[in-house]
Amino acid sequence: MSPMDATTWTFPRQRQSWLAGVLNQKPVLIVLCMAPALGLLLVFLTYPLGLGLWLAFTDAQIGRPGEWIGLENFQSILHDRVFITTVWNTIFYTAAATIGKFSLGLWLALLLNENLPFKSIIRAVVLLPFIVPTVLSAIAFWFIYDPQFSIISYLLVDVLHWRDTYIDFLGTPWHARWSLIAANIWRGIPFVAITLLAGLQTISPSLYEAALLDGASGWQRFRFVTLPLLMPILAVVLTFSVLFTFTDFQLVYAITRGGPIDSTHLMATLAFQRGIPGGQLGEGAAIAVSMIPFLVFATLFSYFALARRKWQQGESND
């Protein structure tokens, strides 16, 4: 046996440090990876929400901390005519805009799902209203709704001669409400259409072929094939659309600022007006906190809708 064969090579094993041992534990890694996200949530979500809840129960004003007054702010706004009108405006605005966005968005998604020429370009163009900043969209609509230089009034009066006078879009309550709803629908259609289009493209064409062989009409194919398979995505998109519309602020504030005569205020815009320009931080916070039950209801709807997984197979839930 040669000396080389008889030699046993051994390497000293380095002792693992306590820090490496701690980092190798899975629970520790999970906590470390989630810590930045939790920190951001605490700073930008939990703290503002907690501060808003606290202010809602105080008589705080700008420049004065305020004292605890309990439910007085909520009792006051419940007897406030403007707040009652604002709650009704918010519900009506959310319902009308959501119905409009879903009707037109679903129709557009079904249209884009067909074999159209220049389909990619059309999809890119459809996204433009959603890409444009909200304030720029609001300024554009502000010019469209101008009582003297509105392009809509010009077409109806000077070109088509369907009217004798220009429309005062933002000068009367109902005209202003419907004008805001139209602007919100215009901005929200791309989100609904593109999301539903992605869902439509996951449906196998063989299902439509089988339904067609069974003699199903176009409406029956939509009712018994497209709609059940699209229902989970519809539930998610509906929930997010309701949340975004209910808490809308920029579009309304940039176009009408709640006017005329507080007739187009939403809860978000009224809370801002009372809290910041009006200086009543406690009252503004109480109006904002009053939105939480509506948002919780929409979130619970999303949870229970997503739990019904058998919708995806077109079956009933157990």
CA distance 52 to 60: 11
Q: Is the residue at 223 inside a domain?
A: yes
CA distance 188 to 138: 13
Q: Is the residue at 59 inside a domain?
A: no
Q: Is the residue at 129 inside a domain?
A: yes
pTM: 0.83
Q: Kindly state the tokens that stand for 236.
A: 């998610």
Nearest to 241 by CA among 52, 89, 106: 106
**Cβ-based neighbours of 244, under 8 Å, separated by 6 or more:** 188
In this prediction, residue 227 carries a pLDDT of 86
Q: Kindly state the tokens that stand for 38.
A: 């939790």
Structural domain containing residue 146: 77-313
220 membership: H or E segment, kind and range: helix 218-221
CB 262, CB 85: distance < 8 Å? yes
Q: Is the residue at 8 inside a domain?
A: no
CB 189, CB 104: distance < 8 Å? yes
Relative orientation angle of helices 173-200 and 227-246, to the nearest 10 degrees? 140
| pLDDT tens-digit series, residues 244-273 | 999 999 999 999 999 888 899 999 999 999
Q: Is the residue at 298 inside a domain?
A: yes
In this prediction, residue 16 carries a pLDDT of 62
Q: Which of residues 43 and 178 earns the better pLDDT score? A: 178
pLDDT of residue 76 exceeding 60: yes
Q: Is the residue at 42 inside a domain?
A: no
Nearest to 283 by CA among 19, 95, 74: 74
Q: Is the residue at 115 inside a domain?
A: yes
CA distance 253 to 276: 13
Give me the chain's average pLDDT, please: 85
Q: Is the residue at 264 inside a domain?
A: yes
Q: Domain count for the chain, please give it.
A: 1
First-to-last alpha carbon distance for the chain, in angstroms, is 77
CA distance 100 to 93: 11
CA distance 290 to 75: 12
| pLDDT tens-digit series, residues 131-148 | 888 888 888 998 899 888
Banded pLDDT at 313 (limits 50, 70, 90) = very low
Banded pLDDT at 18 (limits 50, 70, 90) = low
CA distance 72 to 80: 12
* CATH assignment at residue 149: 1.10.3720.10
CA distance 221 to 208: 7
In this prediction, residue 291 carries a pLDDT of 92
Instruction: Give the type of residue at 30.
Output: I
In this prediction, residue 99 carries a pLDDT of 93
DSSP state of 9: -
